[in-house]
Amino acid sequence: MTAISPTARQEKTACILCSRNCGLVVDIDNGNFVKIRGDDDHPVSKGYICQKAARLQHYQQHADRLQYPLKRQPDGSFVRVSWDEALGDIAQKLLAIRKAHGGDAFAFVGGGGQGNHLGGAYNRQILAAMKSRYAYNALGQEKTGDFWLNGRYFGRQTCHTTEDVEHADYVLFIGTNPYQAHGIHNARDTLKAIKKDPDRTMVVIDPRRSETAKQADIHLQLKPGTDAFLMSAMLAIIVREGLHDREFLAQHCNGFDAVEKALRELPVEDYVARADVPLELVTQVARDFAKARRGCVRIDLGLQQTLHTTLNGYLEKLLYLVTGNFGKQGGNNLHSFLLPILGHTDERQVRKGKSLKRTAYHGMHPIAGIYPPNILPDEILHAGEKRVRAVFVDSANPALTYANTGAYERAFQSLELLVVIDVALSETARLAHYVLPAASQFEKWEATGFNLEFPENAFHLRHPLFPPLGESLPEPEIYTRLLEKMGLIPTRFPLLERIARLEPAASGHLGFMAALGATLARHKEWIPFAASIVYRTLGKALPDNAAAAAPLLPLSIGYANEHYAAVKRAGHKGNRLTLGSAFFKAILDQREGMVMSRHEMADTWRFIKHKDGRVHLEIPEMLAELRALKDEVPPGADAPFILMAGERRSYNANQIYRDPAWRKVDPHGALRMHPEDAAALELADGDKALCDSGLAAIEVVVEIDDSVRRGMVTLPHGYGQRYNGGAPAGPEINRLTASDHCDPLSRTPFHKYVPVHIRKPAAAN
């Protein structure tokens, strides 16, 4: 047993490594995590964790942690500067760029990782300050195709779907490996429960015999990039055999006739052959899924970062819609959000060229308010006078994680101003003019907006466990000071501060909210900066220095108002006037997180935003792409290998861990290759090889592994950090990925389908 010192204590928090944000109980001693385990009281994870969470000390403390603001010198080195100097300089430069070139010269990148979305309320203010709309982030390289479809199917791009795998009796996992990547409720327990139950069926559609496929009843090991063929063939089988849910379609959907017609024209046998999977098995899966009582589809990057990304999303959603597995337990559903992490881009306005900005070089419009990272290097390097000249990066490491590392390096090096806000001196931070140190996610109030559950949804506000390292600051303070330096808001709001301080707690801050409304009505120019104003005023009156959480008050009031019955069902007390502030107080008080709402299944229909309340199945762009499939020649069909660039494994976690010592296995981030392919190239396990995409070649270490299909190789995501100034640890996979190898509609990259040559290094030269 470890000796417990008098300073030791136990606290509640959550894991920040993936979108599940499992609740944790941590033992802390002397400023360090000494023990980490799952929190049985957490309303969602209920004690569950995976092997990655136990290593969080490697995030909290390591050699690359930033302690002071840094300014780059002409010789490329960094010197420590004061916050006042850094923010003063940045404010001046931003104002000069805005004056000379207008707001479009500015872009914001990132803004939240897997566990830190509370800063989002503050960081989006910088876009308003610059009068720019260019928000780029990682969702624009994986999920925007899905959001676009949601806009068409359900009426708004904020209508996000979730999947009730826990209660399904027939689950299709397509292009996802929840055993490693999680993404579903307590993934490994949920998979185990399905596996054990003879009445429930798990089907995995994946070109690799993944850890999830190993648990499955049926594995369809298709050829990479052929999902659109396979899924459309499955749908065609369903409609041909009359297994679609006519009653559901008539009651809830428009446009099925057009879909049915397109599906009936499909050459099923040919398409299944293209996917290279057995027709009988595909037929059986299509039939059984259609007949299942509670069928559910869960997908992720294997569909979203491969050929036909958006069409894949269209077909995947048709699978559950056509079979009536929507709006019910064990199916796919819509859900509520507390933090507005997605916006809605009105396509009619895009078409009219109104209000929504198309980018200068690619003419790309946003989806859900987000621009795709694949185009940003061109918008900086090639857009002429209208180019992006200044960029803020917050909570992201695009120099490693966005497509085409070389293009990002060139583009970022050409900027007039690059500011990076991070907890660590990342590869992107090394390119910056100013690096601003953020307090870690265990040193400040934080929360995630990944509350994607239905019918029961939860929220967890985490309190700080340690003081900020060195001079690092929480993002709310950084952005608020910057707005003040830019002269956009005053530093004091005497009236609001006084009301916030003197108002009795029992009144639920309603007097403050009224005064805030009146202030903003008088000063409309402050409306975009309401988060910082609430932070500086109400924030000061909140207990335990929880100022950063202040903008949750208006969000709580809005949520309680919109989902009144569901919030009450979750046990929150109050009436139409008071429920929101009671809800806010519960957020502040409940250290293990809380259930926000208990919806009724029928609420899914309330979340639909089409005026007729129905799902619109006919999406002409998708039906056109579906019809064009039959003539497709896949890109790179002549390349010997298709690289899956970015696999989730047991020891990768985006770019959140930097110290390679956190890994227990796979130090090189090896290239997985089928034994017969390796033999043909005379490569042995542990050999070095070159992986060449045409854009670049990188050295890799080979791991022979018969779980991949022949002709497919994989490299992990989340490597390549130059920790403590050293050489890249493991593959920098995005040196290989090209900016224009992407979905034409959403511009999200085809990372899982990168045609490559593999060579022995000797033959390289």
Q: Which one of ligand SF4, ligand MGD, none is in contact with 645 (Cβ closer than 5 to 8 A by kind)?
A: ligand MGD
CB of 385 to ligand SF4, least distance (A): 45
Nearer to ligand SF4, 44 or 586 (CB): 44
Nearer to ligand MGD, 228 or 626 (CB): 228
Q: How far is the CB of 110 from ligand MGD (least distance, A)?
A: 6
* Separation of alpha carbons 92 and 95, rounded Å: 5
CB of 713 to ligand MGD, least distance (A): 11
Nearer to ligand SF4, 11 or 699 (CB): 11
The structure tokens listed for 335 are 């859900």
Burial track 282-306 (b if 16+ CB lie within 10 A, e otherwise): bbebbebbbebebbbbbbbbbbbbb
Q: Which is nearer to ligand SF4, 38 or 155 (CB)?
A: 38
d(CA 318, CA 302): 18
Cβ 309 to ligand MGD, closest distance in Å?
A: 10
- Which of ligand MGD, ligand SF4, none does residue 224 bind to, with CB < 5 to 8 Å depending on kind? ligand MGD
Which of residues 18 and 231 has its CB atom nearest to ligand SF4 in the complex?
Answer: 18
CA distances from 687 to 10, 404, 407, 672, 719 (A): 46, 26, 29, 11, 19
Shortest distance, CB of residue 158 to ligand SF4, whole angstroms? 24
Distances (CA, A) of 471 to 301, 664, 759: 38, 32, 48
Which listed option, ligand SF4, ligand MGD, none, makes contact with residue 441 (CB within 5 to 8 Å by class)? ligand MGD
Interface with ligand MGD (CB under 6 A)? 18, 110, 113-114, 116, 138, 141-142, 174-177, 180-183, 205-208, 210, 224-225, 227, 300-303, 306, 394-398, 401, 421-424, 426, 438, 440-441, 475, 644-648, 652-656, 717-718, 733-734, 737, 751-752
Closest separation in Å from C-beta 396 to ligand MGD: 4
Asked if residue 149 lies in contact with residue 313, where contact means CB atoms within 8 angstroms, the answer is: yes
334 CB contacts (<8 Å, ≥6 apart)?
A: 154, 159, 160, 161, 162, 454, 604, 607, 608
Residue 263 site contact among ligand SF4, ligand MGD, none (CB < 5 to 8 Å, cut-off depends on kind): none
- Kindly list the residues in this chain that would bind ligand SF4 in the complex (CB under 6 A): 15, 17-18, 20-22, 49-50, 52-53, 182
Query: What does the block give as tokens for 240?
Result: 């041909």
Identify which of residues 20 and 460 has a Cβ nearer to ligand SF4 in the complex.
Answer: 20
Q: Are 404 and 738 in contact (CB under 8 A)?
A: yes
129 near 103, Cβ under 8 Å?
Answer: no
Task: Residue 59: name the closest of 102, 13, 98, 8 by CA.
Answer: 13
Compute CA distances 638 → 289, 379, 633, 641, whole Å: 35, 31, 10, 9
Separation CA 22–CA 15 (nearest Å): 5
Decide which of ligand MGD, ligand SF4, none touches 175; Cβ closer than 5 to 8 Å per partner kind.
Answer: ligand MGD
Q: Which is nearer to ligand SF4, 50 or 553 (CB)?
A: 50
The length of the chain in residues reads 765
Closest approach of ligand MGD to the CB of residue 342, in Å: 15
Partner whose footprint covers residue 604, from ligand MGD, ligand SF4, none (CB < 5 to 8 Å by kind): none
- Whose tokens are 């559910």? That residue is 296
Q: Quick one: what does residue 49 bind among ligand SF4, ligand MGD, none, with the CB cut-off 5 to 8 Å set by partner type? A: ligand SF4
60 or 221, CB closer to ligand SF4? 60
Give residue for tokens 């981030």. 669
Q: Which is nearer to ligand MGD, 299 or 608 (CB)?
A: 299
Contact criterion met (CB below 8 Å) for 239 and 260: yes
Q: How far is the CB of 183 from ligand SF4 (least distance, A)?
A: 8
Q: What is the C-alpha to C-alpha distance for residues 395 and 142, in angstroms, rounded to an integer?
A: 17
Q: How far apart are CA 422 and CA 439, in angstroms?
A: 8
Q: Which does 138 bind (CB under 5 to 8 A by kind): ligand MGD, ligand SF4, none?
A: ligand MGD
User: Residue 284 CB, nearest distance to ligand MGD (Å)?
Assistant: 18
Residue 53 contact, options ligand MGD, ligand SF4, none, Cβ 5-8 Å cut-off depending on partner type: ligand SF4
Q: Which is nearer to ligand SF4, 16 or 322 (CB)?
A: 16
Select from ligand MGD, ligand SF4, none the partner in contact with residue 235, using the beta carbon and a kind-dependent cut-off of 5 to 8 Å: none
Minimum CB distance to ligand SF4, residue 134 (Å) = 30
Is 614 in contact with 703 (CB distance < 8 Å)?
no
CA-CA distances (angstroms) from residue 350 to 142, 299, 354, 441, 690? 21, 29, 6, 37, 44
